[in-house]
Chain A
Amino acid sequence: MSRIFTARHAMGTKVSGQALVAKDGFSARYDLDRIEGIFSRPAHKLAGQSYVGRILVLDTAKGGVASAWMLHEMQSRAKAPLAIVFNSVNPILAQGAAFGDITMLAGFDEDITVAIPHGSEVEIDPQARTLRLR
């Protein structure tokens, strides 16, 4: 049976795919090897894993204004995540998603990184501001 989670903030187009989930932050500058398309900061809970084409489900956006440009640059090389879902977002990641045309959801009534199992199939509908766990 599917479960549906509603976000307070949403943008982008409807997408579905495999979720990469961690109770950790996200910054394109601090955490990623953007050439290889993997999480590279050793202390990150997803270190070594590819984010390309995945739906990232993470706790919070972290510092670094560069992410606004970097999401656009990653998208231009087809090395971007399919969507990013946060418990708490900051303006940089929202601006980056807007500039890079990446679907984004943020702000839930429960901890979304606990509610969504790592590796599960999910569907995001920004118009309805929903994430559906299939």
Chain B
Amino acid sequence: MTMQLNDEEKAMLAGELGEAPRLALSHQLKVGEFFGARDFVPVTQAHVMADTESLGEAGVRWLESLAALKDGSRRVRIPTITDPRGTDFSKARRLKQAEWMTDLEARAIAAFVKLGVAMTDTCINYQTIQAATRGEHVAFGDTGVVIYSNSVSGARSNFEGGPSALSAGLTGRTPRYGFHLDEHRQATIRFRVDWTPSKLNDWGALGGVIGRRAGNYWSVPVIEGLDRPPSSDELKHFGAAMASFGSIALFHLVGITPEAARLADVGGEALEPVAVRREEVEALQQSYAVDSKIDVVVFSGPQLSLYELRALADLCDGRRFRIPLLAVTSPQVKPDCDRFGYTERIEAAGGTVYSGMCFYQSYAREIAEANGWKRLATNSAKMVNILGGYGYVPMLASMEQCVEAAQTGRLQ
């Protein structure tokens, strides 16, 4: 299917606005035509996932080639921000990252800055920068950002990988397919839960179970049975895990999320309810509990909010850790974490607060080998799903259990 282009898009494609927009629109056309998009839709924000463990030398060179363009507009046309980096430069040595890793990160950052991208380095921009609003079309990377923005904010985005999100920044638009369209936002599978979690790891595990059962990107779960509106942090872990386990980009909570005031609003009445029992959620967590000895405790994926850091600081008081405990947050939250004394309390116990990175995007395999880390405890269901592929034995537990493990070296 050939996409319809307006005059501005035709000019872009002809290179009349410069090489960067031409390259960007050409890439977007390939993707749009693959999915049968009719045309482009203007977007107001872009969020680019681009850690250098993913980009590699090839990706960084591509960014540098864009940044070196002299003709026309190489700068982004809309606010364009970044997902976490592959390091916290101030603590790269503590992580035992090699110099080539930080050099590659520095090159990527220099290129992004020349393109006009704001280095926010956060995967919780909906908590820290600016949440999208209902009906707002955006081009967000990071699956956790997309599912939260679509579901909780009612915004409209597909998963936009780094090249596509940057392209959207450079052109100010994205192909109109998937979750930009009304017809893809109706529920396709209906779940009824018999229990409302209270811990973040339980919310993540519930999201993981629903994600696995929902199956693929085009599935839209609608969920009934929660006995209260979840907090932003709870929905963050729930959505991030659902996206990670199932590639899900949109869910509805009846009576809670904006497009599902009633079940009928998202077509849920026509769907047979599928029960999700507490035992299944516990079984998912148990499936990761293969060892009691722990080498490292990590709180990351998604980055921690100020409230999560506050809770962690409370748990750290009076403790002395035997194994490393890493807590990862955004550059927007870190100054407040310092200012309110949370960093000092976490680090007094032997933990470390990192800023602007994400654990699994920071050369996770290499830092595991350099530090002798294999058995990892976390309260993030998303992280346990990812880290198996990096050679870790990840285990999912509550924040309280993880902090205890940092002190004893054992997960109870």
Contacts and interface: CB of A to CB of B under 8 A. Distances in A.
B54 A29 contact: yes
A42 B35 contact: no
Interface in B236-269: 243-249
Interface in B13-51: 27, 30-31, 33-36, 49-51
A16 interface: no
Contact of A95 (B161, B211, B248): B161
Interface in A30-81: 30-33, 40-43, 60-70, 72-73, 75-77
By DSSP majority rule, is chain A's interface helix, strand, loop, or mixed?
mixed
Interface in B129-186: 141-143, 158-164, 178
Interface stretch (B110-118, B344-352, B372-380, B383-391): B383-391
Contacts of A40: 389, 391
Instruction: Categorize the interface residue count of chain B.
Output: 35 or more
Instruction: Categorize the interface residue count of chain A.
Output: 35 or more
A88 B160 contact: no
By DSSP majority rule, is chain B's interface helix, strand, loop, or mixed?
helix
A14 interface: no
A20 interface: no
A133 interface: no
Contacts of A91: 31, 35, 158-161, 164, 178, 217
A99 to B, nearest CB: 4
Contact of B31 (A30, A32, A70, A94): A94
B324 to A, nearest CB: 23
Interface string B370-410: 00000000000000011011010000000000000000000
Interface string B353-378: 00000001100000000000000000
B72 interface: no
Interface in B213-250: 215-218, 243-249
Contact of B49 (A27, A42, A65, A77): A65
A76 B56 contact: yes
Interface in A82-129: 88-92, 94-96, 98-99, 104
A12 to B, nearest CB: 9
5 contacts: A32-B389, A40-B389, A64-B244, A95-B31, A98-B34
Given A63-B244, A65-B83, A73-B54, 15 more contacts: A9-B34, A11-B33, A29-B54, A29-B386, A29-B389, A40-B391, A68-B161, A68-B163, A70-B56, A72-B59, A88-B217, A88-B218, A92-B159, A94-B35, A98-B31
